Amino acid sequence: MKMTFRWYGQDDPVTLTYIKQIPNVTGVVSAIYDIPVGEVWPLERIQELKEVVNQAGLELEVIESVPVHEDIKLKRGDYQRYIDNYKQTIKNLSKCGIKCICYNFMPVFDWTRSSIDHLLEDGSQALVYYKNEVDKLDPTKLTLPGWDASYSPEEVTELIEAYQQLGEEGLWKNLQYFIEEIIPVASSCDVNMAIHPDDPPWSIFGIPRIVTNEENLDRFLSLYDDTHHGLTLCSGSLGCATFNDMPHLIRKYGKQKRIHFAHVRNIKILEDGSFEESAHYSSCGSLDMVEMMKAYIETGFDGYIRPDHGRMIWGETGKPGYGLYDRALGAMYLGGIIDALKGK
């Protein structure tokens, strides 16, 4: 498996030079962040991004993410044009050597937290999801790193209402149409499409969420019989729900060769179902990191892996969840587990 690190481009305070110094990291996953959602990613812009990464001595084989326009998810307005644009972006990425594309089908909001700088007992700061606080949030005023911040409060309200009317089955139907459109293109380009689970894996603000558990992962994979149609298996999103057994999911979908990208991090689940993002170290949270890595090795996983969100430690400031130090510790911890399990 290839250890990678998320990089947010030239404006990221975590530079490629720093990432290159993490011993077991061979590449970064990134994206082009200034292209409006739904528009084609120009070939020359992709080439420029790849050249910058390669010049730093790192690989760029995974894009995280190519956003899916809300019109596609709702199958309204200009949805077909946006799907055609998405197909062209897949082709352009393939021409530049991209082998895996991470995306999600979460309505309106990507990952959701109640706080992005909660002070933990050890003095570090972390992303947390406290249910009682989320219930009090105004969804029209929320913003988190990586979100599309182009919507006005009025537009967010309209979108929420549209998804509430669409419901889960309507969202499934639109997802199936999207998959049937893009996977033949991805397959012909030999690009793996890896959907990211909903984070958290339950409905928020009355909006349907469908990529949430084993039953729904089975349903998702059954939408198209092609191994290019697969998963970004994120332990931080699926793992924050006690109904998801992460080692089991890894073994099941790993044997099917449907896991293309692994996001690995720990979560501390609280009594009421809330959770805190913790250090990767197993005893710091609720997930068995050794057992998860054992499952990846047993199933012969040879795809891409990255330490996911990290705490802010040692006085670091930057993009919440995406500082250097704790994620680098996570990469080294995971690398150590892998070496130990392989008997190196």
Catalytic residue positions?
196, 234, 263, 308-309, 322
- C-alpha 246/C-alpha 241 separation (Å) is 10
Cα separation values, 166 from 131, 158, 163, 222, 286, Å: 25, 12, 5, 22, 35
Selection from 166, 288, 173 nearest residue 235 by Cα:
288
Instruction: For helices 289-298 and 325-341, give the axis angle rounded to 10 degrees.
Output: 50
Biggest distance spanned by C-alpha atoms of the chain: 57
Question: How many CA atoms does the CB half-sphere of 279 hold within 13 Å?
Answer: 16
Pairing of strands 275-277, 267-269: antiparallel
Cα separation values, 99 from 102, 190, 287, 337, Å: 10, 7, 29, 26
Pairing of strands 275-277, 125-129: antiparallel
CB environment 294-325: b (16+ within 10 A), e (fewer) = bbbbebebebbbbbbbbbbbeebeebbbbbbb
What tokens were used for 138? 């105004």
Using DSSP's 3-state secondary structure scheme, residue 97 falls into coil
